[in-house]
Structure 1
Amino acid sequence: MPAKPTGTTTRRADAQRSIAAIVDAATECLSRDPAASTSEIAKVAGVGRVTLYGHFPSRTDLIDAVFVRAIEGGEAALGQVDLTGDPRAAMSRLIESSWHLVDRFRSLLVAAQDALPPGRIRELHADPMERVERLIERGRKEGVFRTDLPTSWLVGTMHSVMHGAADEINAGRLSPDHAAEYITATVLAAFTPPGEPVPGVQR
C-alpha cells in the first residue's frame, strides 16, 4: 500500500501550490503593469500578504522568481531553433524566436530592470547568451562574422539591440510588428566583417 501522506508532506505540497499560484499571479500582474504591488499579486493569487511574504520576503525576491521562470521557459523554446547551415540565416532565426520571447515578457523585463541589479539580470541571461556566443564563434570561423571585435562585445551588442527594441516599443516609437526585422538588420550589419556587403534579412 502507498505510504500515507504525513503532515509534513501535506504542508510541503500546500506550500508548493501557494508558491506556484503566487508566481503565476505575479507573472500575470507584472505583464499588465510592471509596477504591480504585492497586495494586488496576493489578491490575484488568492492568498494573504502574510503568506506571500512567507514565501517571498520581498517584492524583489518575487520578481526574481518570476524572471527565472520566464527565462527557463524561453530556454526551452530557443532550444528548438534550427541553428544549422549559414550562420547568418541561423542568427536571423534565433533573433526572430528570441524577439517573440522578449516581446511577450516586455513588461516583466521592465519590472526586472527596476528591481534587480544589472549583474543578476546578466547572470539570468547567461544560458541564452551562451547560445548566441556559440553561433557567433561558428560564423567567425566560417568568415561571415567579423573577427576584429571580441565575441563578448558582439553578444552584448545583440543583447542591447534586443532590449533597446523593447524600450522603443514601450515608449511608443516602434511597432512590435517591425521589431524582429529591425533587430535582425541591425545585428547582421554589426556582425558583418568590415568591407563586406551587409546581407539582407535571411530566415
Structure 2
Amino acid sequence: MPSSPVHNRRADARRSRAAILDAALRVLDARPDASLETIAGAAGVTRQTVYAHFPSRERLLLAVADRITEEVAAVMDAADPHTGPAADALLRLLDAAGRAARRHPALLRQISTLLVGPQADRDRHTPIADRISAVLRRGRQTGEFDDRLPLDWLVAVTIGLAHTAGEEQDTGRLSAPEAEHALRTSVLRVLGAATGEGALPGPGGHRAGEPRERPEE
C-alpha cells in the first residue's frame, strides 16, 4: 500500500531535523559563531527549513544538547555497567561519558551559557543520572558503597564532580591524567568505596569497598 502524503511529509521532516542536528554538531564544534545559514548549507537544507524546526539559535543549541546526551547515554550503555564490581562499573561509566562529552568541547561551552531553569537542566541530565543511579544502587545493595546518604544526592554529587573534572581539564588547571585521578578518587571517597591506590578507611574503621556489617538490632 503506497505511503500517504502526510506520512511522507513527516518522514521528510524527521530526516531534515536529523540532518540539521548532525550539521550543527560538526559546524559549531569547529566554528562556534557559525550562522544558522551556514548550518543549513552543511545540512543540505534551506535556512527557512532550519527555522521551521528551530525558531532560534537557542532552540537549536538545546536540541543539540539533547543529541549529545543521547550519545553519552549510548556510550555509557556500551561500557557494560551491569557486570563486575559496582565501583569498577561506575568508573567505566564516568570514563565513557567523559570521552563522549570531550568530542564536543566548543559546543558544550556554548550550551553551558544558555539560561535554562533547574527543572529543565535536571530533565536533560535524567538519562545520565538514571544510569549512574542504577550502578550506585547496586553498589549499596552489595555493600560496596555507603548507604547512609540519599541516593539522589550521591548521583548529583557524582555528576557535579564529573563536570568539575572536565572544566579543570578544559581550562588547563589539571592535565587529563590529573583530572581523571581527581575524579576517580573523589567519587569513590564520597561513596565510601576503595580508590585505585587501595582501600580507604571508612566510618567505623572498616575498609572502604568491603561489605559493611549491619548493626545488630
* Normalised TM-score (structure 1): 0.81
Aligned partner of 2:75: which letter? Answer: A
Backbone CA RMSD of aligned residues: 2.5
**Pair 94,144 (structure 1): closer, same or farther in 2 beyond 3 Å:** same
SS at match of 1:104: coil
Give the counterpart of 2:15 among 6, 14, 17. 17
Instruction: Give the distance between the partners of 1:96 and 1:154, measured in 2 at CA.
Output: 18
Instruction: Give the distance between the partners of 1:49 and 1:149, measured in 2 at CA.
Output: 50
Instruction: Give the distance between the partners of 2:181 and 2:153, measured in 1 at CA.
Output: 21
Residues 68 and 101, structure 2, Cα contact 8 Å, conserved in 1: no
**Pair 94,7 (structure 1): closer, same or farther in 2 beyond 3 Å:** closer
Instruction: Give the distance between the partners of 1:144 and 1:13, measured in 2 at CA.
Output: 48
Per-residue CA distance 1:94-142 (angstroms, 9 max, x = gap): 2212221222233333222222514323212212211211221222232
Aligned partner of 1:88: which letter? Answer: A
Percent identical residues: 37
**Pair 40,116 (structure 1): closer, same or farther in 2 beyond 3 Å:** farther
Instruction: Give the distance between the partners of 1:11 and 1:137, measured in 2 at CA.
Output: 44
The aligned residue for residue 212 of structure 2 is none
The aligned residue for residue 59 of structure 2 is 61
**Pair 26,163 (structure 1): closer, same or farther in 2 beyond 3 Å:** same
The aligned residue for residue 102 of structure 1 is 101
Aligned partner of 1:170: which letter? Answer: D
Instruction: Give the distance between the partners of 1:32 and 1:119, measured in 2 at CA.
Output: 30
Residues 30 and 111, structure 1, Cα contact 8 Å, conserved in 2: no
SS at match of 2:146: coil
Residues 133 and 155, structure 2, Cα contact 8 Å, conserved in 1: yes
| Structure 1, unaligned runs of 5 or more | none
Residues 31 and 105, structure 1, Cα contact 8 Å, conserved in 2: yes
Q: After TM superposition, give the deviation of residue 198 of structure 1 in Å.
A: 5.7
Structure 1 segment 163-174 matched on structure 2, within 5 A: 163-174=163-174
Instruction: Give the distance between the partners of 1:197 and 1:34, measured in 2 at CA.
Output: 48
| Structure 2, unaligned runs of 5 or more | 193-201, 210-217
The aligned residue for residue 88 of structure 1 is 87
Per-residue CA distance 1:45-81 (angstroms, 9 max, x = gap): 2333222111111112211221222222322222222
Per-residue CA distance 1:143-185 (angstroms, 9 max, x = gap): 2212232111111111011111222222222333543333112
Residues 22 and 52, structure 1, Cα contact 8 Å, conserved in 2: yes
Instruction: Give the distance between the partners of 1:56 and 1:81, measured in 2 at CA.
Output: 33
The aligned residue for residue 155 of structure 2 is 155
* Normalised TM-score (structure 2): 0.77
Give the counterpart of 1:42 among 40, 43, 46. 40
Aligned partner of 2:106: which letter? Answer: S
**Pair 151,106 (structure 1): closer, same or farther in 2 beyond 3 Å:** farther
Instruction: Give the distance between the partners of 2:31 and 2:24, measured in 1 at CA.
Output: 10
